[in-house]
Amino acid sequence: MGIPPSLSVPPILTMNQNSVQLAEGARRIARTDNQPREDNDLDALESRTMAKVSKRLIPFVIICYFVAYLDRVNLSFASLEMNKDLHFSSTVYGLGAGIFFLSYFLLETPSNLIMLKMGARRWIARIMFTWGILSGAMAFVHSETSFYIIRFLFGAAEAGFFPGILYYLTLFFPAKYRARMVAMYMVAIPVSAVIGAPLSTSILYLDGWLGFRGWQWVFLSEAAPALILSVVTWYYMTESPAEAKWLAPDERQWLVDTQAEELRLRRAAHDMSVWQTLLNPKVIAFGIAGYGIANEIYGLFYFLPQIVKAFGLTNMQTGLVSMIPFGVGAIGMIWYGKKSDRVLERRSHTAVTFLITAVGLMLVGLTPNPYLRLLFLSFAAFGAFSVLPVFWSMPTAFLSGAAAAAGVAYINSIANIAGFVGPFIMGWLRDLTGNYDSGLLHIAVVCNIAAFAIMCIDHPKEAVAKTA
């Protein structure tokens, strides 16, 4: 019996279907075989791009931030002689050190909004030039009033530098690199003290040269690098990844696409205007935690040399011994930033560092032994500096665009209130009690409050863009 015509299959059609099925199967196998190769190519492109970005930007911003903090930390070492020459009490010194941050606080957010209009290159170069002028002007302080005025103007000149650089770097570094990037950038803070300590105390020995006191030479000599870098910044910085001619076209496109995708993810989750950002409870909580960071950092920066000199050391010995806690802090920043990046977890990592600092400072107050005090100060410095890269990776993980620039500046502005209040309280308590232990206890209490504030923030693991 033959096959009905309606059920018969022409041989040529059967052959074509088999060919199509075989071809489709071959394509599937090829896609499967090629997928690891494509992923490897993409990984190689990412690695190559980020290596170039890091090599181009990180050393430069480290130098800039190093100079910024060198111009801050030099006050603490100049004070070893300046306070005696000008008859400044610890309260006067603390108020003068802190008044820098009052103008910094008032002008930081406006400064960053101006930067968005003018561009990072022009505005950051302007900041560095004016702060260099005001840093050098500190050599001509001759009274309490002139001390306060120049410090206030110095803060106004530098306002916006830190959040401006931080925002600029987030344009070039995707989320999964951010804590390491911030760690490498902000390692300049403790390193400026490690290098600045023996450098500044050495310059003190120029006392009398050309008619200037040693502490005046500290300010004059350490202002020059900022002026030089302002010119370098104008010609070296690139405004955005799209303008990065030092990247190959495929590298530039990968970076632009990756940053655009992460920006889209952030906006989808947290699309806020500038004013919504400034009033956001999460941003305010970040500000409270930032206050704790600034309080501990500047407590160590401005008073550690005087605490160490109380061990009975000379100026040079004070500079060398002061290097130890700051060196521990520098190592901690790099290690802890990488640790946080591996798991993309920020909140608990931040809270732990606050508690480490609090415990270290409380232990300092419990012993008069200089060796143990130095050990506990180093323990506290580990926490105080390790918090920086982890904490500052958090706001930029949920803010974008103008909201990111304004939000980071706003958080840093709140934090810098501690730069004004903290040194004043430390100096006042020193005059009141005759030692620094009560001031260190005050810092420890604030650290505990900051740890609580950071744990109140709902901060999930960060989204990482995947680009093809």
Burial of 111 (0-12, 13-18, 19+ CB in 10 A): buried
CA distance 148 to 374: 31
CA distance 398 to 391: 13
The two structure tokens encoding residue 15: 């052959």
What would the pLDDT profile of 352-361 be if each residue is shown by its tens digit? 999 999 999 9
Altogether, the residues listed in the chain come to a count of: 468
Query: In this predicted structure, what is the pLDDT of residue 12?
Result: 36
Query: In this predicted structure, what is the pLDDT of residue 450?
Result: 94
CA distance 297 to 193: 11
Query: In this predicted structure, what is the pLDDT of residue 369?
Result: 92
Domains and CATH numbers, the chain: 49-235+247-455 (1.20.1250.20)
Nearest to 165 by CA among 468, 451, 396, 432: 396
* Residues 347 and 462: beta-carbon distance below 8 Å: no
* Residues 182 and 393: beta-carbon distance below 8 Å: yes
* Residues 443 and 295: beta-carbon distance below 8 Å: yes
CA distance 414 to 279: 13
Query: In this predicted structure, what is the pLDDT of residue 275?
Result: 66
Q: Which residues of the chain have pLDDT under 70?
A: 1-42, 179, 265-278, 396-405, 459-468
